[in-house]
Amino acid sequence: MNDFLTILQPLVLIALFGAWVYCLVDALRQHRAWPWIIVLLFVPVLPVPFYLLNFKLFGAQEGGRLDSTLRTRNGLRALQEKVAENGTAGAHLRLAGAYLRAEDPMKALQSLGQVLEMDAENLQAQYLAGLALLTLGNAERALTHLEFVVSKDPGYQWGEARLAYADALALTGDPEQCLRELESIAGQYLLPEAIVRHARHLIDCGDHDRAREALRDMLSRVKEMNPEDVKRHKMWIRRGAEDLNQLDSGG
């Protein structure tokens, strides 16, 4: 047993040293935030598991999860200070967007209420209010905001507003109108969620040829999307590919 531990101990030390070198080199190559580099330089082993968990296991591609959380908090704090100094509609609107990204729809609605008091026809505020209310499960109030947006600008946010409107219709008990909206969106915009959901309706109706054609067209056009949009719609692109494979295999 003692001989085994004698052999194991230097191997563990070598592994830890190798992991430390890897993390340090990775931090330098990826231009990580300078506190990470300083800690790795002066505390050789202790930060290694935190670095690997942050950037590799839970890795947020360009920055780690911890870094992303800190950036979100710092961004919110900066926007809150700007609103306190100068509570313009634009400042409240930016703060509301930050709250939504931080998954805090209640606070987003408070800021959006301030915007809509100043400008009741602000489409961005109406749209974000609809999204926040959908997140909170209040589809009826969300529908009012989203209906206003699509009546003023049917193509607002490149069809995203109409997609949210379709969701509100479905949740308020109007599935037929929701399907009509999805069909229209799928025909006009490269929105994977709308296309896949419409294709699934076609499959349920037995129209496999139209569903197959719509999914193939979507997947062939994905290369037209910028990388950020591909990343944002990744789940629906994958689902579309899976549905097409099932159709092609006769499933």
| Range from 77-81, 107-111, 224-228 that averages highest in pLDDT | 107-111
**Rounded to whole angstroms, what are the CA distances from 227 to 68, 183, 223?**
19, 25, 9
Query: Packing angle between helix 65-85 and helix 89-101, nearest 10 degrees?
Result: 160
Distance CA(52)–CA(185), nearest Å, equals 42
Indicate if the pLDDT at residue 167 is higher than 90: yes
Distance CA(99)–CA(106), nearest Å, equals 8
Residue 36's pLDDT band, with cuts at 50, 70 and 90, is confident
**Is the Cα dihedral 204, 208, 210, 212 positive or negative?**
positive
Q: Return all residues near 208 (Cβ < 8 A) that are at least 6 apart.
A: 202, 247
197 CB neighbour count, 10 Å cutoff: 23
Q: Write down the pLDDT at residue 134.
A: 97
Give the pLDDT confidence of 183-203 residue by residue, as tens digits: 999 999 999 999 999 999 999
Q: Write down the pLDDT at residue 213.
A: 96
E runs forming strands in the chain: none
Average pLDDT, the chain: 86
103: helix, strand or coil:
coil
Q: Which CATH class is domain 159-251?
A: mainly alpha
Indicate if the pLDDT at residue 241 is higher than 50: yes
Higher pLDDT among residues 64 and 222, named by residue: 222
Indicate where the chain has its CATH 1.25.40.10 domain(s): 159-251
Q: Write down the pLDDT at residue 85.
A: 83
Indicate if the pLDDT at residue 136 is higher than 50: yes
**Is the Cα dihedral 200, 203, 207, 210 positive or negative?**
positive
pTM, two decimal places: 0.72
Q: Write down the pLDDT at residue 60.
A: 47
Q: Write down the pLDDT at residue 3.
A: 61
Weakest mean pLDDT among 37-41, 67-71, 73-77, 242-246: 67-71
Indicate if the pLDDT at residue 211 is higher than 70: yes
Region 110-136: mean pLDDT is: 96
- How far is C-alpha 137 from the chain's CA centre? 19
Q: Write down the pLDDT at residue 133.
A: 97
Indicate if the pLDDT at residue 64 is higher than 50: no
**Rounded to whole angstroms, what are the CA distances from 183 to 149, 153, 166?**
19, 18, 10
Kindly report the length of the chain.
Answer: 251
Q: What does the DSSP 8-state code read for residue 85?
A: H
Residue 56's pLDDT band, with cuts at 50, 70 and 90, is low
Higher pLDDT among residues 10 and 190, named by residue: 190
Residue 21's pLDDT band, with cuts at 50, 70 and 90, is confident
